[in-house]
Amino acid sequence: MLKTVLIGATGVVGQQFILALQNHPWFELTSLAASSRSAGKRYGTAIKDPDGASRWFCKESPPPEVLDQTIENGDEIDPANYDIAFSALESNAARNIEPRFAASIPVVSTASAFRYEDDVPILIPGVNEDHFTLLKEEKRKRGWNGFIAPQPNCTTVGLCMTLKPIQDNFGLESIVMTSLQAISGAGRTPGVSAMDVVDNVIPFIPQEEEKVQKETLKILGRINNATIIPSDARISCTCTRVNVTDGHTETVLVVTKESSDRDGVKSAMKAFSKKLADQNLPSAPKELLTISEDPFRPQPRLDRETDDGMTTTVGRIRSDDSFERGIKYVLVSHNTKMGAAKGAVLTTEMLVKAKLI
């Protein structure tokens, strides 16, 4: 068993990491860490508000043994005691804390702090394993024994997962995406105020569109001489927040480079969906993508938990005749499972298999 520490254990994503690592056959969750606000407290106490209300956000209950575990201070914990660090830190804290860990051990992170650095890949299981090789460059350049392997923004995950088979079969000329993002995507602190979001749609999420655009082109880019050449597709995103707890919905219009049609795109997605199924990875879903023929699907309430939130559901695939070679669809992807914690655990399993950990 590899010994792991979880930093940022008290937040929305940290809670999902705890579930994703519960009874994991390869990874033992040895220690939990968070800020000085939580350090020294029992986990069950640290996730309560000052008025005593529990802020456990997952639909599954917390493992009882975790509730009694004492939280350590992320600034003080010694990385040498672990084989791997999982990070669900708020991004400013990640910028300071993650390099201290990466100097000694691999860090797999959901934070954005290092996503945009040239020597750091952004990894999505099944989409860009060819970018794993950049981790060696990251170690070499920074003189670290470990590395930082960030996952993308949760909205980027479903988008890239569906674009990859289209890119490989038809090429990508232009992408237009509008998201309807769940409130859990905003995290616990500061989170989204109920007064703002109930009975409402918020048409702007600061910095989100720039992140999704930049990350998508990097993830779909190609490796050349130990750097990533971003995809040359044009991309335009509008990101909105809606009154849904978990599961991001995205409407996507793609103009392909080569001629494409609805059936061809469906076949490409179906072939891609089995990519990790036979690799004996404990967290891999049977299908990365599943296609619904029901015109009223996907819906977050009905589809986000498909294969424990690890499968992206795609529906309403159709040609868009307003464009030459236009294809449109709607997707639902679980933002804190495949879009964050369990997706990061799956990436880590792939890194172990690739002997990079």
Ligand X SMILES: NC(=O)c1ccc[n+]([C@@H]2O[C@H](COP(=O)([O-])OP(=O)(O)OC[C@H]3O[C@@H](n4cnc5c(N)ncnc54)[C@H](OP(=O)(O)O)[C@@H]3O)[C@@H](O)[C@H]2O)c1
At closest approach, how far in Å is the CB of 208 from ligand X? 10
Distance CA 125, CA 283 (A): 10
Distance CA 38, CA 147 (A): 26
At closest approach, how far in Å is the CB of 268 from ligand X? 26
How far from the centroid of its chain's Cα atoms is residue 244's Cα? Answer: 18
Q: Which is nearer to ligand X, 154 or 163 (CB)?
A: 154
At closest approach, how far in Å is the CB of 111 from ligand X? 3
Q: Which is nearer to ligand X, 37 or 140 (CB)?
A: 37
Q: Which is nearer to ligand X, 17 or 170 (CB)?
A: 17
Question: Is residue 312 close enough to count as binding ligand X by CB under 6 A?
Answer: no
Torsions phi, psi of 50, nearest 5? -55, -25
Contacts of 135 (CB under 8 A, 6+ apart): 121, 147, 149, 351, 356
Q: Which residue is nearest to ligand X (CB)?
A: 11
Question: Is residue 310 close enough to count as binding ligand X by CB under 6 A?
Answer: no
Return the structure tokens found at 290.
């599943």
Question: Is residue 91 close enough to count as binding ligand X by CB under 6 A?
Answer: yes
Q: Rule CB under 6 A: choose which of 306, 335, 347, 348 binds ligand X.
A: 335
What end-to-end distance do the CA atoms of the chain give, in Å?
12
Question: Is residue 161 close enough to count as binding ligand X by CB under 6 A?
Answer: no
Q: Which is nearer to ligand X, 48 or 142 (CB)?
A: 48
Q: Which is nearer to ligand X, 133 or 207 (CB)?
A: 207
The kind and range of the H/E element at 31 are strand 27-34
Question: Is residue 8 close enough to count as binding ligand X by CB under 6 A?
Answer: yes
- Judged by DSSP in three states, 280 sits in coil
Distance CA 146, CA 287 (A): 31
Q: Rule CB under 6 A: choose which of 4, 38, 162, 312 binds ligand X.
A: 38
Scan residues 236-295 and list those touching ligand X (CB under 6 A): none
Q: What is the dihedral of CA 181, 187, 189, 190, to 10 degrees?
A: -10
Question: Is residue 10 close enough to count as binding ligand X by CB under 6 A?
Answer: yes
Question: Is residue 192 close enough to count as binding ligand X by CB under 6 A?
Answer: no
Return the structure tokens found at 281.
């990875």
Residue tagged 């639909």 (tokens): 59
Binding site for ligand X (CB under 6 A): 8-14, 34-35, 37-38, 74, 88-91, 93, 97, 110-112, 154, 184-185, 187-189, 335-336, 339-340
